[in-house]
Amino acid sequence: MRRAAASVILLVALIASAPSVQAQGFDGRVGAFLPRQRDCGVPSSVPAEYTLFQDVCELYAVSKGAFDGVYGGAEYNHVLMKNVEVGVHFDYFSKTVDTFYRDYERPPSLGGGNIYQTLRLQTWPLGVSLRFIPTGKRVKFAPFVGGGIDAVFYHYEEFGDFIDFFDPGLAIHSDHFFDDGTAFGAHALGGFRYYFNRDFAFTAEAKYMWSGHDMHGDFSPNGPGLVNRIDLSGWTFTGGVHIRF
């Protein structure tokens, strides 16, 4: 996994530093990331691959779509050959979800009521895309399709009040759990650019990324053979500007 992430970073650095006589461009974009939250809502008695969201959606008042949020970033791109360009992008996503246990409350001796937590997911995808643009330079509307690879740096944390399920009395403690990691990913994309003049265009793009990672830190497995995975896959929909120079 580390070698894959390092390969993406090295490829990004080589592309960004390589001299080029071809047309180059810069994209700035903003939109939404819709994590697929695989296994959200699947009972724990059913084997799951991405167990973080299985646990989160079963324990807390969280459902699919709870982590949908604002996504944005920038991309440098340049033409490799006729109708083909390469782009290097760096994006950012952050979503905070306030929630509570679905099936547990504070005992009456502690005042009763919900037991609250806050969940936060942040990602920084760094990647490379190849685009095929079948139109010429002088058109106003230029559709494209493409794909690429990513190194997705992520931070996931939970803080608030938690039940100690290893305590027969189900004691409640304030705590903070987190994990940082890098996941390797791949994506497919499609979109268009609408040129207002030769060098300035509106761009819109839909992209789906596949990415998952075995968690460590405070989310390390509790026993042999257990693996806690985080699903970082999902759709992004963005709009922005493309500047050619």
Domain locations in the chain as residue ranges: 2-244
Condensed to tens digits (0 to 9), the pLDDT of residues 175-199 reads 999 999 999 999 999 999 999 998 9
d(CA 193, CA 241): 9
Q: State both tokens at 36.
A: 């697929």
Mean pLDDT of 64-75: 96
pLDDT of residue 225: 62
Give Cβ neighbours of residue 136 (< 8 Å, ≥ 6 apart): none
Condensed to tens digits (0 to 9), the pLDDT of residues 81-96 reads 999 999 999 999 999 9
pLDDT of residue 232: 96
pLDDT at 209 over 60: yes
Q: State both tokens at 2.
A: 């580390």
Residues belonging to the chain: 245
For all residues of the chain together, what is the average pLDDT? 90
Question: What CATH number belongs to 2-244?
Answer: 2.40.160.20
pLDDT of residue 149: 97
pLDDT at 139 over 80: yes
**CB contact at 8 A, 60 and 117:** yes
Dihedral sign of CA atoms 18, 19, 25, 27 in order:
positive
Q: Quickly tell me which residue has 């646990």 as its tokens.
A: 55
pLDDT band of residue 240 (cuts 50, 70, 90) is: very high
**CB contact at 8 A, 33 and 234:** yes
